[in-house]
Chain A
Amino acid sequence: MSDAASRLRRLAAFFSKGLLFLATALSLVAVLLIILYIARDAIPFFKLRGLKELFASASWFPSGHPPEFGALAIFIGSGLVTLGAIVVAVPLGVAAAIALSDILPYRLRQAVKPVIEILAALPSVAYGFFALVIFAPLLQNRGGSLLALAAWLIALPLGLLLIFVITEIVTRRVREDVAQAARLILAATLVVILVRGLLALSSLLGRVAISSGTNALNVSIILGIMALPTIVSVAEDSLQAAGRELREGSYALGATRAETLFKVVIPAAGSGIIAAVILGVMRAIGETMVVWMASGNAAQIPSPWFNFLSPVRTLTATIAGDMGEADQVLGSERYHVLFALALCLLLTSFIANLASEWILRRQQRRLGGLK
C-alpha cells in the first residue's frame, strides 16, 4: 500500500473512532446534565426550608397560607404502591419466566414471548384510563367478592401443592402397603381443612366494602401488570442464556427436572433474574400517568400503614399535578420543592442501579466465571 493510501486509511479510522466516541460521550453528558440541572434547582428549596420538613412532616399544603411542604405521606405512598407492585409482579413474573423457558412446550414459548413483549409497549395512559374508568368502579361495586375470588385463586393451588408435598414427606417412613391408604386419608383431611378455611376467609373478605376504588390496591395491581412483561422478558432471556449444555450436563449426572431447575439453572441465571426484577421495580417507581389518574392523590399516611384500600399520593403524581401552579418566577418554594422530589426519585433509581450492579458482581464472582 502506498504512503498516501495508508495515511488516508489511518485518518478514516481516527475519524470513525472519534465519531463513535462522541456518540457515547453525548449520551453520558446528557444524563449527567439532567442530574446536574435537577440538583441545581432542588438545592434552593433545602436552603429555604431546611431538610427536616420535607422528610419528617406529613402535611402537604403547597398552596396554603402559610404553605407547608411535608412530603412524608408522599414518600410512604410511593413506597406502598411500589411494594404492592413488587408483590404482584415478582412472583408471577419469575414463575412465568421459569415456566416459559423450562417447563412449557417450546412451541408455546415461541407464540407467547412476542405477545408479552408487545404488552410491554402499551402506553401507560391506556392503563391509567382502564384503572380509573373500569377497575375503580369494579372495586367499589364488587370489591368484596373480587378480594374473595383473589384469595381462592391464590390459596387453592398453593394449598393443594402444599398438601401434596406434606403427605409425601409424612408418609415416607410408613410401610409400603399401608402408605397409599395413609396418604389418601391424610390428604383428604387436609383438603377439607383447607376448603373450610378458605370458605371462612372468603366470607370475611366478601363483607369488605371498598368506599373508594381509586386507592393503593388499584394502582398496585395495575403497576404490577405493567412491570410484568419487563420482568418476564428479561428473566426468560437470562434463563435461556444459561444454555442447553448446562441442563444436559445436569441431567447426565442423574438430577431430576426439579433439581436441575432449582439447583443448577436458576442459580446460573440468578444475576439476570435479579436484573429483571430491578428493571420491573424501576418501572413501577417511575410510573406517573397511572398513579396520577387512579391512586386518589390524597396526601395521607394510611392507617394502619399497610391499608391498601386507602387513597395515597405518590412522588411522580405530585410532580405532574403541581407543575402547572409552580412557575420559576411566581412561587419559588413551590417550584423548587418539585425539583427536590425529582432529585429524591433520581437518587432512588441511582441507588437501586448501584445495588443491582453490586449483586451481579458478587454473583459472578461466586460462580467463578460461569457467565
Chain B
Amino acid sequence: MKIASIFLTLALLAGGFGFAADANKIVVDGSTTVGPIAKAFAEFYMKQNPGVNITVSESGSGNGAKSLVNKSCQVASMSRLLKLNEYEAAVHSEILPVAHVVALDGIAMIVHPGNPVSKLTMAQVKDIYLGKIKNWNQIGGPNTAIVIISRDTNSGTYETFEGKVMKGEKIAKNCEYVGSNGAIRQRVQSTPAALGYVGIGFLDNTVKALPIDGVNPTPETVKNGSYPIARPLYMVTDDYPKMGSHLYRYINLYLTVKGQAIIEEIGFIPVTSY
C-alpha cells in the first residue's frame, strides 16, 4: 500500500513536469507599466482559447530582460529597449530578442490634487530632482519642502525618466524610491507635498498631472511627439514566434481592433489608428 502511494505521487509529479513544457503555457514577465496591457491581453486571449494558460508577473523591465535571457519566460514586457549588455547576454545564451512595440506611453509628472502649482518646465523638473529646488514656494506653491519620489532602478519608467529628464545626472539623495507605478500614485495621492512620475495609463482623478513646457500629457501629444517625456512600450520574444502558434496570436493582439480598444481603455496610446 505504501509503495503504491509513493509510485502514485511520483507519477503525478512527472505528469506535472510534462505539463509545464507544452506550447499552451505562456509566461510573461517584466515591466509594471506594460503589465496591465499584458494582463488584459491575457484575459481576453484565455477567454477565447480556454486551453491556454498565460501568467503575467510584474517585477520590472530589468527583471523581465533577465528572465528572457535565463529562458524562464517567453515574453519580456519592457518599457525600455534592452541595453547593449542585455543584448550581449541574450546572444551569449543563444536568445535572439525581437522587440514588438505594442503601445506608446508618456510619463506624466503628478502632484497631490490640492497642490496649487499648475505647470512645470523640463528644467524645473530636473532641478527639483537634482535637489537644487527644495521648496514648493520656489515655483509658486506653498511653503513646504518638496517630497520627491522616484521608481526603483530596476524600472523601465525610471530609465526613461533618467534618460529624458535627468540626462544622466544623479538624483538627489533624499529622493524616496518605490517599487511600482501604482505605489507612486498611492504615495502622491496621500502626500500633499509630493512630486512623482507615472505612466500616462496610471493617471486618474486621485492625482493631478502637470503640463510640461506647456504641453499636457495626453494621447494626442504623445502621438504627435510634442510631449517631451514619451516612449514606446515593448514586448520582447525570443525570435519571431512561430506563425499560427498561441504565442504568435497573443503577441499580435495589439494589431487587432479589439486589442487597440483594450490598450485605449487602459489609458495607453495604440501604435496605429484603425
List the interface of chain A (C-beta within 8 A of B).
Answer: 58-59, 61-65, 73, 132-133, 136-137, 140, 209, 211-214, 292-293, 296-300, 310-311, 313, 321-325, 327, 329-331
Contacts and interface: CB of A to CB of B under 8 A. Distances in A.
A298 B187 contact: no
B242 interface: no
Contacts of A61: 170
A211 B83 CA distance: 37
A254 to B, nearest CB: 60
7 contacts: A137-B190, A211-B193, A293-B183, A297-B176, A297-B178, A324-B66, A325-B62
Contact of A296 (B59, B88, B176): B176
B154 A297 contact: no
User: Chain A: interface secondary structure?
Assistant: loop
Nearest to A73: B173
B144 A211 contact: yes
Interface stretch (B7-15, B145-153, B220-228, B245-253): B145-153
A62 B162 CA distance: 13
Going nearest first, the 7 A-B pairs with the smallest beta carbon separation are A324-B154, A324-B63, A297-B177, A137-B190, A325-B62, A300-B173, A325-B154
B153 A298 contact: no
B152 A321 contact: yes
A325 B85 CA distance: 12
B174 interface: yes
B69 interface: yes
Interface string B141-174: 0001101000011100000001000001010011
Nearest to A331: B85
Contacts of B92: 329
B69 A212 contact: no
Interface in B165-222: 168, 170, 173-179, 183, 186-187, 190-194
A317 B192 CA distance: 25
Contact of B154 (A64, A213, A322): A322
B60 interface: yes
Contacts of B89: 327, 329-330
A214 B187 contact: yes
A154 B17 CA distance: 58
B191 A298 contact: no
A195 B83 CA distance: 64
B127 interface: no
Contact of B59 (A132, A299, A324): A324
Interface of B: 59-60, 62-63, 66, 69, 83, 85-86, 88-89, 92, 144-145, 147, 152-154, 162, 168, 170, 173-179, 183, 186-187, 190-194
A190 B5 CA distance: 76
Nearest to B177: A297
A140 B188 CA distance: 12
Contact of B186 (A133, A297, A323): A133
Given A324-B154, A329-B92, 11 more contacts: A63-B162, A214-B176, A292-B179, A297-B152, A311-B176, A321-B177, A322-B153, A325-B60, A325-B62, A329-B88, A330-B66
B244 to A, nearest CB: 33
A212 B177 CA distance: 12
B156 to A, nearest CB: 11
Most central of A297, A310, A322 by chain B CB within 10 Å:
A297
Contacts of B62: 324-325, 327
A298 B175 contact: yes
A156 to B, nearest CB: 31
Given A65-B168, A214-B176, A292-B179, A322 B152 contact: yes
A310 B170 contact: no
B175 A63 contact: no
Nearest to A313: B177
A134 to B, nearest CB: 10
Contacts of A137: 190-191
A283 B135 CA distance: 38
A293 B179 CA distance: 8
B86 A330 contact: yes
Contacts of A133: 186
Contacts of A300: 173-174
Q: Which of B83, B168, B177 has the most CB of A within 10 A?
A: B177
B174 A298 contact: yes
A335 to B, nearest CB: 11
A330 B90 CA distance: 10
A221 to B, nearest CB: 18
Nearest to B146: A211
Contacts of A323: 63, 154
Contacts of B190: 136-137, 140, 213
A299 B173 contact: yes
Contacts of B144: 209, 211
A212 B66 contact: no
Contacts of A298: 173-177
A189 to B, nearest CB: 43
A136 B194 CA distance: 13
